[in-house]
Protein backbone atom coordinates (compact mmCIF):
# COMPACT_ATOMS: atom_id res chain seq x y z
CA UNK A 1 0.00 0.00 0.00
CA UNK A 2 1.29 3.50 -0.81
CA UNK A 3 1.98 6.17 1.81
CA UNK A 4 -1.11 8.04 0.58
CA UNK A 5 -3.37 4.98 0.89
CA UNK A 6 -2.19 4.17 4.42
CA UNK A 7 -2.40 7.84 5.38
CA UNK A 8 -5.98 8.04 4.12
CA UNK A 9 -6.99 4.99 6.16
CA UNK A 10 -5.44 6.48 9.31
CA UNK A 11 -6.98 9.88 8.62
CA UNK A 12 -10.44 8.36 8.14
CA UNK A 13 -10.19 6.93 11.68
CA UNK A 14 -8.84 10.22 13.09
CA UNK A 15 -11.60 12.22 11.41
CA UNK A 16 -14.15 9.85 12.96
CA UNK A 17 -12.62 10.57 16.39
CA UNK A 18 -11.25 7.00 16.59
CA UNK A 19 -7.72 8.03 17.66
CA UNK A 20 -7.42 4.94 19.81
CA UNK A 21 -8.44 2.60 16.99
CA UNK A 22 -5.97 4.28 14.59
CA UNK A 23 -3.16 3.50 17.03
CA UNK A 24 -4.22 -0.08 17.65
CA UNK A 25 -4.41 -0.83 13.93
CA UNK A 26 -1.41 1.09 12.66
CA UNK A 27 1.29 1.46 15.33
CA UNK A 28 4.26 -0.83 14.66
CA UNK A 29 5.19 -3.02 17.62
CA UNK A 30 8.36 -0.93 18.08
CA UNK A 31 6.71 2.45 17.35
CA UNK A 32 8.50 5.54 18.73
CA UNK A 33 6.29 8.43 19.88
CA UNK A 34 7.86 11.87 20.40
CA UNK A 35 6.08 14.75 22.17
CA UNK A 36 7.30 18.36 22.45
CA UNK A 37 7.85 18.26 26.22
CA UNK A 38 10.39 17.35 28.87
CA UNK A 39 10.03 14.37 31.16
CA UNK A 40 8.98 10.74 31.15
CA UNK A 41 6.52 10.96 28.27
CA UNK A 42 8.71 12.95 25.84
CA UNK A 43 9.92 9.84 24.00
CA UNK A 44 8.13 6.51 24.34
CA UNK A 45 9.15 3.28 22.64
CA UNK A 46 6.93 0.28 21.91
CA UNK A 47 3.22 -0.14 21.27
CA UNK A 48 2.39 -0.90 24.92
CA UNK A 49 4.08 2.27 26.20
CA UNK A 50 2.43 4.48 23.57
CA UNK A 51 -0.95 2.86 24.26
CA UNK A 52 -0.37 3.65 27.95
CA UNK A 53 0.22 7.33 27.16
CA UNK A 54 -2.96 7.40 25.10
CA UNK A 55 -4.95 5.77 27.92
CA UNK A 56 -3.52 8.27 30.43
CA UNK A 57 -4.40 11.20 28.18
CA UNK A 58 -8.01 10.14 27.66
CA UNK A 59 -8.46 9.41 31.38
CA UNK A 60 -7.19 12.89 32.29
CA UNK A 61 -8.84 15.06 29.62
CA UNK A 62 -12.39 15.75 28.59
CA UNK A 63 -12.44 16.16 24.79
CA UNK A 64 -15.03 18.68 23.59
CA UNK A 65 -14.02 18.44 19.93
CA UNK A 66 -11.12 17.18 17.84
CA UNK A 67 -10.64 17.67 14.12
CA UNK A 68 -7.94 16.27 11.84
CA UNK A 69 -6.92 17.63 8.42
CA UNK A 70 -4.67 16.19 5.72
CA UNK A 71 -2.82 14.07 4.80
CA UNK A 72 0.21 16.03 3.59
CA UNK A 73 2.60 13.52 1.97
CA UNK A 74 6.32 13.27 1.18
CA UNK A 75 7.91 9.85 0.52
CA UNK A 76 7.33 7.50 3.46
CA UNK A 77 6.10 10.32 5.70
CA UNK A 78 2.85 12.22 6.06
CA UNK A 79 1.63 15.08 8.25
CA UNK A 80 -1.79 15.74 9.80
CA UNK A 81 -2.96 18.96 11.47
CA UNK A 82 -5.14 18.73 14.58
CA UNK A 83 -7.35 21.24 16.38
CA UNK A 84 -8.37 19.96 19.81
CA UNK A 85 -10.63 21.57 22.40
CA UNK A 86 -10.12 19.88 25.78
CA UNK A 87 -10.48 20.40 29.51
CA UNK A 88 -7.74 19.03 31.77
CA UNK A 89 -9.52 17.21 34.58
CA UNK A 90 -6.77 17.97 37.11
CA UNK A 91 -7.35 21.74 37.15
CA UNK A 92 -10.49 22.27 35.06
CA UNK A 93 -8.54 24.37 32.56
CA UNK A 94 -10.02 24.39 29.06
CA UNK A 95 -7.48 24.61 26.21
CA UNK A 96 -7.70 25.02 22.45
CA UNK A 97 -4.66 23.16 21.13
CA UNK A 98 -3.28 23.08 17.60
CA UNK A 99 -0.84 20.36 16.64
CA UNK A 100 0.94 18.87 13.68
CA UNK A 101 1.52 15.09 13.77
CA UNK A 102 4.32 13.80 11.52
CA UNK A 103 4.10 10.06 10.81
CA UNK A 104 6.87 7.87 9.36
CA UNK A 105 5.70 4.59 7.84
CA UNK A 106 7.56 1.28 7.51
CA UNK A 107 5.85 -1.74 5.95
CA UNK A 108 2.44 -0.05 6.19
CA UNK A 109 2.73 0.65 9.94
CA UNK A 110 3.62 3.80 11.90
CA UNK A 111 7.29 3.40 12.89
CA UNK A 112 7.47 6.92 14.36
CA UNK A 113 5.01 9.65 15.27
CA UNK A 114 6.27 13.10 16.25
CA UNK A 115 4.08 15.94 17.45
CA UNK A 116 4.58 19.69 17.12
CA UNK A 117 2.54 22.14 19.21
CA UNK A 118 1.52 25.58 18.05
CA UNK A 119 3.22 28.19 20.22
CA UNK A 120 3.51 31.93 20.40
In the complex with a copy of itself, which residue's Cβ is closer, 34 or 41?
34
Gap between the Cα atoms of 82 and 80, Å rounded: 7
From 54, 14, 22, 12, select the one nearest 35 (Cα to Cα): 54
Burial of 39 (0-12, 13-18, 19+ CB in 10 A): exposed
> Smallest distance from the beta carbon of 73 to a copy of itself, in angstroms?
5
Q: Does 74 bind a copy of itself (CB under 8 A)?
A: yes
Q: Does 9 bind a copy of itself (CB under 8 A)?
A: no
Q: Does 8 bind a copy of itself (CB under 8 A)?
A: yes
In the complex with a copy of itself, which residue's Cβ is closer, 59 or 119?
119
In the complex with a copy of itself, which residue's Cβ is closer, 57 or 59?
57
Q: What are phi and psi of 60, to 5 degrees?
A: -110, 5
Gap between the Cα atoms of 44 and 113, Å rounded: 10
Which residues make up the interface to a copy of itself (CB under 8 A)? Answer: 4, 7-8, 34-36, 70-75, 77-79, 81, 98-100, 102, 114-120
Amino acid sequence: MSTLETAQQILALLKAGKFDEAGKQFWADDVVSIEPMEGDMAVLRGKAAVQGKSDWWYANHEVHSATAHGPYVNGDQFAVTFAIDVTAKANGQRMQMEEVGLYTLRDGKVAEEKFYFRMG
